[in-house]
């Protein structure tokens, strides 16, 4: 079985369309897993959600940005760990089509499958078991650690799987020990150059093979939309999440 794994689209429809086009052209991908943070940062909220929810081959989980935006929509407490982006989340929430709210609320935080005798676990980022049901305002996701095998072994010491896929931290992670492959394909939508990363994972009885992919795309109109739409904190976002690229 071959699956594609994407994460942290962050409201970038141009990047998502490029990756979906690449996946569909391969014709050998059985399922697509999206590991959270579909919205937030980028302005293409509704287009991204339509692209994902309209497919019948996608399994999704929620990320911290998705849940923080939903909290605002539902009049629930916003996480104090995200206070610096509250205005931005309010802007996203005001523009999200109502039809997507119920769909997002139905998504789980984790997915666990057995595929060809391999235990496969997906989460946006590590959460302690006692925090799995905590509201996003309680900041349930663990503190980000620097990418290394030892750090990830310590972080996920309570999880025993053949493949652990996650996102949240935008750089690509690929580490392996005798038992587990730790895979973060990297943020699809937030990069310092016009490329969108994702991963293809072949899960067979004989083992698991990971291939990291990158798709080049034209991000000119996407970057310029931050200013034309007056996205809150757009100058900071371009600098911090898109490498200060100039349009």
Looking only at the bridges linking them, the beta strands covering 2-6 and 31-34 are: parallel
> Is the pLDDT reported for residue 247 higher than 80?
no
| 28-46 confidence digits (pLDDT tens) | 999 999 999 999 999 999 9
pLDDT tens digits, residue range 181-212? 999 999 999 999 999 999 999 999 999 999 99
Structure tokens belonging to residue 5: 């794994």
Which of 164-173, 187-196, 200-209, 233-242 is least confident? Answer: 233-242
What local confidence, expressed as pLDDT, does residue 53 receive? 98
Q: Give backbone dihedrals phi and psi of 156, rounded to 5 degrees, phi first.
A: -100, 30
pLDDT at 50 over 80: yes
9 to each of 15, 51, 136, 214, how far by Cα in Å?
8, 11, 19, 14
The region that residue 11 occupies, defined by phi over 0 for left and psi between -120 and 50 for alpha, beta otherwise, is left
State yes or no: pLDDT of 51 exceeds 90: yes
Q: What's the whole-number mean pLDDT along residues 11-19?
A: 99
Q: What is the pTM of this model?
A: 0.96
Give the pLDDT mean for 152-180.
Answer: 97
C-alpha 32 chain-centroid distance: 12
Predicted pLDDT of residue 163: 99
Residue extents of the structural domains in the chain:
2-218
159 token code pair: 């999880």
Identify whether the C-beta of residue 164 lies closer than 8 Å to the C-beta of residue 182: yes
Q: Can you give the pLDDT at residue 78? A: 96
CATH architecture of 2-218: 4-Layer Sandwich (3.60)
Alpha-carbon gap, residue 180 to 239, rounded angstroms? 35
Mean pLDDT over 139-147 rounds to 97
CB contact at 8 A, 208 and 162: yes
> 207: helix, coil or strand?
strand
> Looking at residue 83, what is its pLDDT?
84
């Amino acid at each position: 079985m071959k699956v594609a794994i994407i994460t942290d689209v962050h409201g970038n429809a141009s990047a998502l369309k490029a990756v979906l086009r690449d996946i569909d052209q391969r014709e050998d991908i059985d399922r697509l897993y999206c590991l959270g943070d579909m919205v937030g940062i980028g302005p293409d909220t509704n287009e991204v959600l339509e692209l994902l929810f309209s497919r019948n081959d996608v399994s999704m989980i929620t990320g911290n940005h998705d849940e923080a935006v939903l909290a605002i929509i539902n009049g629930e407490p916003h996480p104090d760990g995200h206070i610096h982006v509250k205005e931005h989340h309010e802007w996203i929430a005001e523009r999200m089509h109502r039809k997507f709210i119920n769909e997002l609320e139905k998504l789980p935080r984790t997915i666990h499958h057995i595929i060809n005798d391999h235990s496969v676990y997906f989460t946006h980022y590590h959460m302690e078991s006692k925090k799995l049901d905590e509201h996003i305002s309680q900041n349930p996701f663990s503190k980000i650690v620097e990418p290394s095998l030892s750090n990830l072994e310590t972080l996920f010491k309570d999880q025993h799987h053949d493949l652990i896929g996650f996102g949240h931290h935008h750089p690509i992670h690929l580490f392996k020990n005798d038992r587990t492959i730790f895979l973060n394909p990297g943020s699809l939508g937030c990069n310092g150059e016009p490329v969108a990363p994702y991963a293809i994972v072949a899960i067979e009885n004989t083992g698991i093979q990971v291939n990291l992919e990158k798709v080049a795309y034209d991000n000119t109109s996407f970057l310029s939309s931050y200013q034309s739409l007056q996205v809150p904190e757009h100058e900071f976002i371009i600098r911090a999440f898109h490498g200060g690229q100039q349009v």
